[in-house]
A and B are shown apart, each in its own frame.
Chain A
Amino acid sequence: GESVGLHLPTLSVQEGDNSIINCAYSNSASDYFIWYKQESGKGPQFIIDIRSNMDKRQGQRVTVLLNKTVKHLSLQIAATQPGDSAVYFCAENISGGGADGLTFGKGTHLIIQP
């Protein structure tokens, strides 16, 4: 099965609200995680990453939280804008493990309601 998964295939939020996209991973050896945003017709765009020695990392309007105890990752987007509409993927990797590239979840489609 999937090493990395997402809880919801679709998330609908009001413009201006905060969005929280969740991701569960099953491989406890994973120690590097990335969130990607993919707009229609485009390749995945890097948003933010986090290493397992951190619990939280902030970027511009985005925050990633990592809970290693329950193997859970989340992406918080503040003040959601229409341009945030996209499919969001979490991906994992294992440092030094010669891992097979990035393992992706199936994605959550974020829909922004006006």
Chain B
Amino acid sequence: KAGVTQTPRYLIKTRGQQVTLSCSPISGHRSVSWYQQTPGQGLQFLFEYFSETQRNKGNFPGRFSGRQFSNSRSEMNVSTLELGDSALYLCASSLVVLGSFMNTEAFFGQGTRLTVV
């Protein structure tokens, strides 16, 4: 079956602009989590969506937001881009919410490489 698909793969934006990234989870998976990966901070949790509801949120400013659609596809948006937002943004899909009593594997997409200039 198809894996996690993220689009676009690469993106270059200017400071102050906004950006929207997309993630299509594995078929049947209802949870989508987003992570930011940078050389300095490593992989950091942004937020998780399940059944169109945000379930958990990491320690990121309000400029970072997301949503999930009824087909489980998810988007994340970053407004007023800053140079420090340059990173690889990864999305992970899982059957259920991470941190639920039913542990589940989380599968990652290839990521979107965002460069802010």
Contact pattern, B 63-105, Cβ under 8 Å of A = 1, otherwise 0: 0000000000000000000000000001010000011111101
Contact size range, B:
20 to 34
CA of A32 to CA of B44, assembled, Å: 17
CA of A97 to CA of B33, assembled, Å: 16
If over half of A's interface residues share one DSSP class (helix, strand or loop), that class is named, otherwise mixed; here it is loop
CA of A106 to CA of B41, assembled, Å: 8
Query: Nearest chain-B residue to A48 (Cβ)?
Result: B105
CA of A53 to CA of B113, assembled, Å: 38
B106 interfacial by beta-carbon distance below 8 Å: yes
CA of A100 to CA of B103, assembled, Å: 14
State whether B42 touches A101 (Cβ < 8 A).
Answer: no
Q: Least Cβ distance of B105 to chain A in Å?
A: 5
CA of A108 to CA of B58, assembled, Å: 24
> Cβ of B6: which chain A residues have Cβ within 8 Å of it?
43
> Cβ of A102: which chain B residues have Cβ within 8 Å of it?
33, 35, 43, 45, 92, 98, 106
State whether A100 touches B57 (Cβ < 8 A).
Answer: yes
Query: Nearest chain-A residue to B101 (Cβ)?
Result: A96
8 closest pairs, A vs B, by CB?
A101-B45, A43-B108, A99-B99, A104-B43, A32-B103, A96-B101, A44-B108, A106-B42
List, sorted by A's number, 8 A–B pairs whose CB atoms are closer than 8 Å: A43-B6, A49-B105, A89-B42, A96-B99, A100-B56, A102-B43, A103-B45, A104-B43
Show the binding face of B for A, using Cβ within 8 Å.
4, 6, 33, 35, 42-48, 55-58, 90, 92, 98-103, 105-111
